[in-house]
Structure formats: C-alpha cells, structure tokens
Chains A and B, each alone.
Chain A
Amino acid sequence: MVENIPIWRIKYLPKTLDEVCGRSIVKNRLKEYIKSENFPHLLLLGSEGIGKTTIANLFCQEFLGSFYEPNFQIIYADVPLTSEERDKARSEAHYSTGKLGRLAGKTITTPAFIQVKIKPFVRIKALGDVPFKILIVKNFEVLGSNQQGFRRLMESYGSNCRMILISHNVSGIIDPIKSRCQLIMIPPVDIKDFNTLITNVAKNENLMIDNGTIEHLYKITNGKIAKAIDLLQITSISDNTVSTDNLYENSMMLQKDLIRSLLLMTLKGQFDKARDLSRKVQSNYKYNVQELFLLLYNELTKIPLGTYALSNLITMIADADFRAIDGNDSDIQISNLISKLCYYSEFL
C-alpha cells in the first residue's frame, strides 16, 4: 500500500475491473466491450450502494487507458446548479430565432443543467488514441423533464461521446432514453464472493471473524460492500474479534439512528420534541421532504407492528408525501404527519 489510508472502504476499493467483487456476468460483458473497443450508450441499474459507480468508473479507466483523464467526466444529476452556473447558463444559452415579432430572440431553448454541465464536455472532440469520450451521469432519474434534452444529445454527439447513465430504478427513466441505451442490471454480490472479500480484509487487518458472523454481516448490510467494510472498521476499534453481538451494536450506531429515534418519539406521542428532531435531521443530512418520508417509511417497516396498524401508518406517510408535492410549504406537511403519528400512537 503506497499510502496508509485510515478509511478501509477507500483502502479496499478495487483498483481494476478484475478486483471487483463477484458479478462475473457483468464484468465479462464489459471486458468484451473493452476488447472490441466499442460499446453503445449504457444504462446501469441497481439499488443504492451496490457498486454501480465503482464498476462504471473502473470500466472507463480500462477502456480509455492512458487517455482516461481528458476523456472522462462524471456528473451527479442530483447536485443542483450553483448560482454562478445558473448565470453562466443564462448568458450562454442558445437564443431561438424561430419566432417573429416581439418574442424574437427571447426563448432559451436549452435547459441550464445541460447547457453548463453536459454540453461543454460532449462538444469537444476526444483527445488522443481513443474512439470516443465517456460521460457518466449518476442518479439519472432525478433529471425528470431534463431527460428529454438527452435524446438529441445522445444522437448528435453519440459518435464523439458515449454516455453511461446510472440510476436506481428503471421506472424513473423515460422510454426514449431506454430505447437508446443498452440496459445492464448490476446484481448484488452473492454470499460466496462476499465471504471471500471479507475474509481477505479481516486477514489483512488481523481480525478474527467466523463464517456465521460474515453471514450476519451480509444480512444487516444487505450485501452492500462499502457499508459492510465501514461496519467492520468501527467494530475492529473496540475488539479484534468480530462477533455477531458487537456487530449489531455498532450497526445501530451507523444506521440512520436519528430517523429511528424520530419515529419512536412520534410513537410515544411527543410532538414538540419530534418536530425539533425532524428539523435537525433534515438540516444535518440535507434530506429533502420526499427522502425524509421514504426513510421514515423504511424505518417503520422494521418495527414489529400489527398489519392493520402498519398499513394505517403507511397510509399516513403516503398521504403526507402526496400533499407535500401539492402544497407550498413542506414543513407544514411534515408537522401534519408527525401530529398524526403522535395521535395514532395513543391507540397502539
């Protein structure tokens, strides 16, 4: 190891496509692309934290070889534009000349996001001995209507720049984009490969861990490697032997425990405290309303409740989510949900 990295999840990040844990079907397909020096636009699908970006990144590195740096860019669709970027987009935007009369020259035809983030990269010709550039767009489903703008881009600049779109779910992506891409599902790591990887890490770090505990680790992290390694590192600080018990204890620490205590507080009927906490959670983790509701929902399903009570509570969250889309001030909808949960808790 050249540099001693204190964060294990970075330390054990795969350096080549071969090192990527498991998923041999995907890896083989990507390697064929590298051999033939050509590939269509790709759409990578898979749940959060499963390694889509890591795989895509390594694939690009190997595909572009020594010309990786100038010909590669990764863009996060969910990071909003800063005000400077917005101003830039406005000043650079293409002004339509199609209209006549008083509206002439008034319409900005390119969405700001595409104008600032995508166009400058895809326009410029690929540098060096590579067939084309590669652009990765993460969380593509967030783009919403801006996805439409990609249709033309993928066609007109396609020969100069291939795109790899990454998304959690296929349902958020519009059909025209799907039809222009090769869809690749990234499956979770299976337990065998997971076991090999964790054993390897444990050996490197002088940790004692048995097969039963690894299975348990696989279960609580849902097979997400970065999470598992994080958990392993935290556990290792207090004890060299990793057991099911201390894993569980530490996992509580890493879990979105604030969300859980928020939920428990509402179910105890403490409105004031719950609302303060929900505000704290939101500002600390920068969750937007929809994310907060989703997290609450996920946490709720883990609490042992009767089917009837559970379905009632889920309806409340769904209703609040819907109203937040409709409404003007989302804090009101959050307060409303919390008050409902507080009241409902009296009947549990």
Chain B
Amino acid sequence: MSESSSNKMPWVEKYRPKSMSEMALPSAKLKGHKVELAEELRKFIKTFFKEKRYNNEKNRKIKSFNRIHVEKEQEKLLTLSPEKVAILMEGPPGVGKTSIVYALANDLNMEVIETNASDVRTKKTLESKLNETVKSKGIMDFISESKDKIILIDEIDGLYGVTDKGAVPTILNIIDTTQFPIIMCSNEYKQNLQPLYNKIYKLEINPLSTDEMLRIATRILKNEHITKLKEETIKSIIEKNHGDLRGLINDLQGISQGSVGKLNIDLIRSLNRDSTEEIFLLIRDLFQKISTLRDARALTDKSDVDYNFLYKWVNENIPSFIKMNSELVEAYENLSIADQIFGRIQKTQNWSTLPYFYDLFAGGVAISRKTKEDYQGFKKVTFPRYRSTGMFSLTANERLVIEKIKKKYDISEIEAIQDFLPFLRVLAGTTRKQHKLISDWLELDATEKKILKIDSEK
C-alpha cells in the first residue's frame, strides 16, 4: 500500500483488525450468562464444522442405504439443530460485530460471504446470493483447497418492512440447508424477526469499556504520529461515543486531519454523533448554506442521521427558514413527492428509488429557497414532536368522560368525540347553570369537568 493511498483511506478501514488478538473485545452475554466473545464464536464455528462433517458422512451412508433398500422403511437424514447452525449478535453500533467476524475468518483461514443493508434483500435476491453458496458444498468437496466459508447476514434489523414476508422464511430455509455456519448481526430487537429469535441463540454484545477504547485510540494516534491531542480531550471524545469504537475512530480522524489548530471543546461537541445537536446543525446547514443539489447530497451523505427521522425534521422546520409562500409551496411540493416515494418504497420494497427520495427531501427542499436576504442568522429549529393521528386514540380523561356519556346515551366513541362532546362544550359554556346541569347529569367529578370547561374558555 503506497503512502498516499493509505492516507486517503478512512481510518476505520485502515485499522480494521486483521486478527482477533489485536481487537478490543467487548463483553458479551449468552442466555443471561457472561461469556468470552472470541472463545464463544470460535467454539461455535468449530463445532459446526465438526458436526456437519460427521453428519455429512452419516448422511451419505443413509442415502446409499435408502437407494438400495427402496422397499424398506427409508431412514431419515440427520440435520443439525438451528442453534448450532446460526447465531445472532445483538449490540450497539460500532462495537465491532462485523469486524470480529472478519477477524475470526482471517484467523481460521476462511472466507466471509456478506450481505448487508446496502444490498437489496428480498426473497429472490437472498436466495440467489446465498442458496448457491450454501448448497455448493457437494461440488466443493472435490476441490480440497477451497476455503471454508462463513455467511454473515449483517444489519439484519435493517431488513425489509412488514410488507415483505419472504425474507425471514428464506433465512430460516437457508439455516435448514446450509453447509456453512451463519452469523447474523443486529442493533436491536425487531418484532418481525421473532421467528428467527425462536430458533437461534442470541449473543448480547455490550458497549466497549472506556479503557479498551483508550487503548485503541492511543495506538492509532501513535501510529499516525499525532501528539497534539491531550489525554483529557481524548477521554471526552470517548465519553461522547458511548462505547462506539467506530464513531471514536471517525472522530479522531476528523479532528486530526481537519483543522488541527482549533482543537477545542466546541469542535468535539460538533462531532457528537447521531444526537439532536447534530440534527440541529444539519438542518441549519441545509437551509442556510446549501445552494446546489450537489452540496445537499454531500451533506446528507456525510451525516449518519437516520433519513427516516431526518425528513420529519425537514417537514417540521421548513416554515422557520422559508417564509415566502411561493418558495414554501415549492419546498413542500418536493417534500410531498419525496414522502410519496418513500411510502411506495415501504409498500413495494423497491429500494432502488431511494436516491430520488434523498434528493427531493434534502436538496429539493433546500434549493426552493431563492431569496438570499433575511435567511441568515439564528433560526429556531424545532423537534418534530407532532404525529398525525393515523389511529384513533383517546386521552385518559376523555375516555372517562365518554364512558360516562355512554352510560346515559348509546353513542360510539368517535361520534362522541367528533359530534356530541363539542356540542356539550358549547352548551356547558353558555351559562354556569347549564354547566352544572350537564356535569350533574353525567355525574362528573372535578377533573372530568375540566374537559367541558377548557374548550369553552378558548
């Protein structure tokens, strides 16, 4: 590797561990017991191949037996139980789940077949990618030099929405037929993966300890000949990253390769990843600095804020940056089409249209602003708290009042809220006597009376 190309490389790739021994190993739990992560995975892979080999041997005999004695009762083929075939690692981002698999494969001289969230993973594509590999063992037997493989299904929580029913059964199917061990990685529990959780063990990975992170950070900085960073600065960056080693390495690179001169607390704070602070900054940049589509794309590419979340921020904050109605209408038109595209992606799982969504909600919105003056300076950025009521849900107080109404008058909850309660409010608001009459009749207590009152005051 030449000097120049290694400089351009992201440190995360450059310092990706080649072997388990040089890794910062997070602690892990299996079925509630603390286990040694490296040892556990090595054991898992070894037992898999041992038992698989034994099974294959037996199965070959069974098959030939079955073929010869067709008239006799056919013997069943041996299969491995799913928990011996596949394992799931669940833990926060950046602790090294993917790295450990690659390091392990390197140590054991194996190959990794990976599929991750950037691949399209519908039933068909998963099958075509993995099924060929997992079944081809029969042919591979003849080529003795061929490496054993590990199948890595990364970012499994980022898989398919509810609409795509194909993928989980496909993975289960692959578990049944595979000739290679499967390791899956996930950040959090997902309801739609329940069939998987039922069948296989889950290794819970904890965030890395501060000491481990400091050890890695010092090693990297030493290697890069960077001495300007004080230890307390490094520690505060580590603290910001909450056990996320990848985040830490990215931050270190950002600090030392960027403007080394002004290493201050502000800079570190601006590196605070995936927090509201970062989104605030991103939103401001989007509306106040961006003037071309390319800039907008660069900005969204650079940030690791979840787009699913980001475009709701954009929706909430358009009016504080764009005031002219003509520009507003253009911004919302773009955002609206973006939303439409996103809705279709979720329904059809056709992720290839995602780039349009990105460009429309970020760039399309940002460049709708054409007037330059009056848009600089500090603008309030608000958190998108509001959620449009797709579902009918009542507050506890409303529920109580409606229960009481229903005792007296047979009416559905929806009619009560949309039709009857507004009338009661108007009526109760006319005179004090009416208010008393109604609340006595409904036998309301003091807090419930407020429901009648609050709105009449408005």
Contact = CB atoms under 8 A, between A and B. Distances in A.
A283 B342 CA distance: 25
Interface stretch (B7-15, B110-118, B180-188, B433-441): B433-441
A330 B335 contact: no
Contact of A335 (B172, B315, B419): B315
B328 interface: yes
A138 interface: yes
A332 interface: yes
A120 interface: no
Contacts of B346: 328
Interface string B348-384: 0000000000000000000000000000000000000
B411 to A, nearest CB: 9
Contacts of B455: 284
A343 B331 CA distance: 12
Contact of B329 (A7, A10, A340): A340
A230 B339 contact: no
A284 B455 CA distance: 10
Contacts of A74: 410
A27 B259 CA distance: 86
Contacts of A340: 329, 332-333
A230 B421 CA distance: 12
A346 B427 CA distance: 38
Nearest to A295: B418
Interface in A293-342: 320, 323, 326-336, 339-340, 342
Contacts of A275: 319
Given A254-B423, A285-B422, A342-B329, A237 B431 contact: yes
A5 interface: yes
B390 A80 contact: no
Given A329-B315, A330-B390, A6 B438 contact: yes
Interface string B16-57: 000000000000000000000000000000000000000000
Nearest to B394: A286
Contact of A327 (B329, B339, B393): B339
Contacts of A288: 389-390, 392
A272 interface: yes
Given A254-B423, A254-B426, A339 B325 contact: yes
B329 A234 contact: no
Nearest to B334: A336
Interface in B283-329: 311-312, 315, 318-319, 325-326, 328-329
B328 A234 contact: no
B392 A80 contact: yes
Contacts of A10: 408-409
Contacts of B391: 80
A160 to B, nearest CB: 24
A237 B431 CA distance: 8
Contacts of A331: 315, 386-388
A285 B414 CA distance: 9
Nearest to A53: B410
Contact of A343 (B315, B329, B390, B441): B329
A76 B412 contact: yes
A326 B344 contact: yes
Contacts of B173: 102
Contacts of B133: none
B430 A238 contact: yes
A327 B342 contact: yes
B340 A326 contact: yes
A287 B409 contact: no
A271 interface: yes
A110 interface: no
Given A6-B434, A286-B417, A343 B422 contact: no
Interface in A222-280: 230, 233-234, 237-238, 253-254, 269, 271-272, 275, 279
Contacts of B59: none
Contacts of A234: 426-427, 430
A269 B430 contact: no
Contacts of A7: 409, 424, 427, 438, 441
Contacts of A254: 422-423, 426
A327 B412 contact: no
Query: What 9 pairs between A and B have smallest CB-CB spacing?
Result: A336-B336, A76-B412, A343-B329, A327-B343, A6-B437, A327-B339, A331-B388, A336-B332, A328-B343
Interface of A: 5-7, 10, 49, 57, 74, 76, 78-80, 102-103, 138, 230, 233-234, 237-238, 253-254, 269, 271-272, 275, 279, 282-289, 320, 323, 326-336, 339-340, 342-343, 346
Given A254-B422, A330-B390, 8 more contacts: A76-B412, A78-B392, A283-B389, A286-B389, A330-B388, A342-B328, A342-B329, A343-B329
